[in-house]
Amino acid sequence: MSNLETSRGNWGSKFGFIIAAAGSAIGLGNIWRFPYVAGENGGAAFVLIYIIFVVLIGLPVMIAELAIGRNTEKNPVGAFKKLFPQSLWKAIGGLGVITGIGILSFYAVIAGYTVGYFIKIILGDFSAVESAAQSGQIFAAFTANPYISIGLLLVFIILTVLVVMGGVSAGIERWSKILMPLLFLLLIILAIYSITLEGASKGLSFYLKPDLSKITLTTFARALGQALFSLSLGMGTMITYGSYISKRDNLVTSAAYVCFFDTLIAILAGLVIFPALFAMGMDPAGGPGLVFVVLPSIFAKMPGGMIFGAGIFLLLAVAALTSTISLLEVPVAYFVDEHGWSRKKAVVSMGAITFIIGIPSALALGANHFFSTFIKENFGFLDFMNALFGNYSLSIGAFFIAIFAGYKWGVNAISREIQEQGSVFYFRPIWAFLIRFICPIAIFVILAYIAWTGNYF
């Protein structure tokens, strides 16, 4: 990513791009958000629809975003403007810029909690945990402290700002190559441990045996939002990252790798959480606190658990950082490219704005009554921002990106971009069918249903 802060160059190698894009995709979306959303929406039935959406909607939209980005070499607003200067399409880029700030504002709160949990584990705060209920109380007390929540939010924003400002992003790329496989390895070990706990089988069947009667249109809506969120799609992150890929790389295979690894990590996170959760007799619909309650209860029992625990939360913080970088990069690239701001000015001002917008989310898990019950009981400001930007805004963005790719700029233009320098566009007719018909129709039906029923949250 060293090129992000200098001129527009290319990623070091094909592998460099895949690592950076996977770094954006893999994060709290996989390990924090996926398990609790799956738990709230029927378990295995949700997982099934989720995987279908990754393949039928996520992959084609990712290919479209990467092609738009590489062709235009621009931020999302600049990209639409360059292709169709007089049109309104740039508004979709503008929505992406706002969405980036919106998501980052609450994402950094949760990312801050992972840093906090890393410190708490080292301090031995969980060594006496005997039950999930106790672990739940620790989490509640932790998030109810406004100074800690806001302080950790600030810490995480500063970390992100420092990386995006320049200097260390090449290092992050290098570290990611070691740390991400390590995260994968720790998750595998934890999943094996979790599956072998007594009473785990109920969790396995909840997570892996679909009960199709649990599927409603709301399940589809949540699965769509989760797939786009987890793959960093619908707000131009992949347009921005695509603007740095070399013409030699095959966009289709790169996108397929990113989708595959992202989904693998999410599925694995569920294999850690659900067997243990059922073994401890907890409610799978526990909401955003789920992993913060379940993981420490696992570590408390496991031999060497605290070392594992510290490792997992540290790696989770790193995974979150490679995602927050990509979230901040979208508004920063916009202000640098379109308004001629210096990189430093753009990064610092966007970081400051995000911090301020993030404060209500930091107070929304118990620190402040108003923000904690912003929409209803157990659905506070953080959940509100998460649904608004993390589901709906991304869905609207993905809808228009599909229309743009399928009809406005067109299948032929995208194919030409993909076939640059002799790359083969595998499955072109299938892609064209998905981006022109399946993606827009499915997203439209889901959004129309949500708007019609008013069942937003």
Structure tokens at 426: 């595998």
The 10 Å Cβ neighbour count of residue 117 is: 27
Identify which of residues 312 and 367 has a Cβ nearer to ligand PHE in the complex: 312
Interacting stretch for ligand PHE, rule CB under 6 A, among 43-51, 231-239, 243-251, 252-260? Answer: 231-239
> Residue ranges of the alpha helices (H) in 363-456?
369-372, 381-387, 394-403, 411-418, 428-433, 439-453
Cα separation of 29 and 231, whole Å?
Answer: 8
Distance CA 156, CA 110 (A): 9
Nearer to ligand PHE by C-beta: 244 or 425? 244
**Does 169 participate in binding ligand PHE (rule CB under 6 A)?**
no
One symbol per residue from 19 to 48: x for binding ligand PHE (CB under 6 A), - otherwise; what is it? -----xx-xxxx------------------
Altogether, the residues listed in the chain come to a count of 457
The residue count for binding ligand PHE (CB under 6 A) is: 15
Binding mask 275-314 for ligand PHE (x = CB under 6 A): ----------------------------------------
Neighbours of 454 (CB within 10 A): 7
Minimum distance between the CB of residue 273 and ligand PHE, rounded to whole angstroms? 16
Assess contact for 43 and 284: CB atoms under 8 A. yes
Compare residues 25 and 298 and give the one whose CB is closer to ligand PHE.
Answer: 25
CB 326, min distance to ligand PHE, A: 5
Nearest to 108 by CA among 61, 156, 178: 156
What mask of x and - would describe binding to ligand PHE in positions 82 to 121, judged by CB under 6 A? ---------------------x------------------
Q: Check residue 235 for interaction with ligand PHE (CB under 6 A).
A: yes
Rg (CA), the chain: 21
Residue 114's alpha-carbon distances to 109, 195, 315, 371, in angstroms, are: 9, 24, 9, 21
Task: Establish if 161 lies at the interface with ligand PHE (CB under 6 A).
Answer: no
CA 4 – CA 440 distance, rounded (Å) = 32
Q: Binding of ligand PHE at residue 242 (CB under 6 A)?
A: no
Min CB(111)–ligand PHE separation in Å: 9
- Residues 110, 116, 118, 121, CA torsion sign: negative
Q: Which is nearer to ligand PHE, 21 or 252 (CB)?
A: 21
Which parts of 315-334 interact with ligand PHE (CB under 6 A)? 323, 326-327
Least Cα distance to 122 among 327, 310, 312 occurs for 310
Rounded Cα–Cα distance for residues 39 and 59 (Å): 24
Q: Which of 5, 329 has the CB closer to ligand PHE?
A: 329
Q: Is 354 in the site for ligand PHE (CB under 6 A)?
A: no
Residue 19 C-beta: closest distance to ligand PHE, Å? 14
Nearer to ligand PHE, 191 or 259 (CB): 259
- Angle of helix 305-339 relative to helix 146-165, nearest 10 degrees? 60
Q: Does 229 bind ligand PHE (CB under 6 A)?
A: yes
The residue within the footprint of ligand PHE, chosen from 237, 386, 391, 393 (CB under 6 A), is 237
Q: What does the binding site for ligand PHE look like in residue numbers (CB under 6 A)?
A: 24-25, 27-30, 103, 229-230, 232, 235, 237, 323, 326-327
